[in-house]
Amino acid sequence: MKIVKTISEMKRIAKSWKAQGYSIGLVSTMGYLHDGHKSLIKSAFENDRVIVSIFVNPMQFYSKEEYESYPRDLQRDCNICEECGVNIVFAPEAGEMFEEGFCSYVDMYGLTENLCGMTRPNYFRSFCTVITKLFNITTPDKAYFGQKDAQQLAIVKRLVRDLNLDIDIIGCPVVREEDGLAITSKNIYLNAEERRSALILSKTIRLAQGLVQAGEKDAEEIIRAMRENIETEPLARIDYVEIVDANTLQRVDTIEGQVLIAIAVYIGKTRLLDNFTT
C-alpha cells in the first residue's frame, strides 16, 4: 500500500492506472476509520484498484476549535487500509487542497437547505467543493458513500448528474453496533452514560419503521410519535425529525413512493444522525 500526500502524484498514479485499463474505486473519508468505512472499502473491491482519501476538510467545521478537536490518527487509519488491501491512501494536508488564494466553490440549491442544511448553511458547499476536487484528482469509476449520511449521498448523486461526471455513485447500507447504534467517528465523544442514551436514535428509527410497516401514511403522525419517543431520553435534544422525498429531499405529507425518514439528535454535545428509506 502506498501513502500519497500530493495532488500531482495522485493524479499521475490515477492516470497510469487508467492507461493500463484498471477501474478505480474511491472511498472518501475524514479519517478515524471504523467498521462503516471498512464496509465501503469492501464494496469498492469490485474495482481493480481502490483509493481511500483521508482529508479533514477545515471548511466543514463551525470553528477552528471544532476542526482541531476532530479525532485524527493517520497511522491507525493507514494500518486499517493496509489490512483491507487498499492500494493507495490519499492523505493531503489542507494547504495542498486549498492553496493560498483559493476562491472557487461548487454550490447547490434545493437539496441542501433542508435536514442538516437548516442548521449548517455552509456545510454542503464545502462538501460539494471538496468531493468535486477529489473526483478530479483520483478519477474514480465508482465512489462509495454510506446511507447513514443520506443527505450527503443524495447531494453527491445529484452533483454527478448535474455536472455530467462519469462516475457511478454507490450507496451502501448503514452499519450498526450490535445494540443498534449507527457507527460513526463521533461515537468516540460519548461517555458511558451518553453511549447508553444514544440508543434512543436507533430505537426511534425502529419505531418509525414499525409504524410504516403497519400502514401509517400520515407523515405528521409519524413525526409526532418519533419526537415523543426521543423526548423520553433526558440527555437527548432534537435537532430535527423529518420525512422527505428520498430524491428531492423536500418535505412530504404522505408516505408514498420512496421517502427518507431522518433524525439528527444531540446526545450531550455530540450530534448524531440516523435514518431509513422506505
The rounded distance, in Å, linking the Cα atoms of 155 and 21 is: 29
| 37 included as an active-site residue | yes
C-alpha torsion sign, points 224, 225, 231, 237:
negative
Contact 138, 169 (CB under 8 A): no
Q: Could you give the C-alpha distances from 97 to 47, 57, 100, 260, in angstroms and in order?
A: 26, 9, 10, 33
Q: Which residue has the cell 464545502?
A: 126
3 state DSSP class of 102: coil
Contact 274, 202 (CB under 8 A): yes
Q: Of residues 14, 29, 37, 40, which has the active-site annotation?
A: 37
* Residue positions counted in the chain: 278
Residues with catalytic annotation? 37
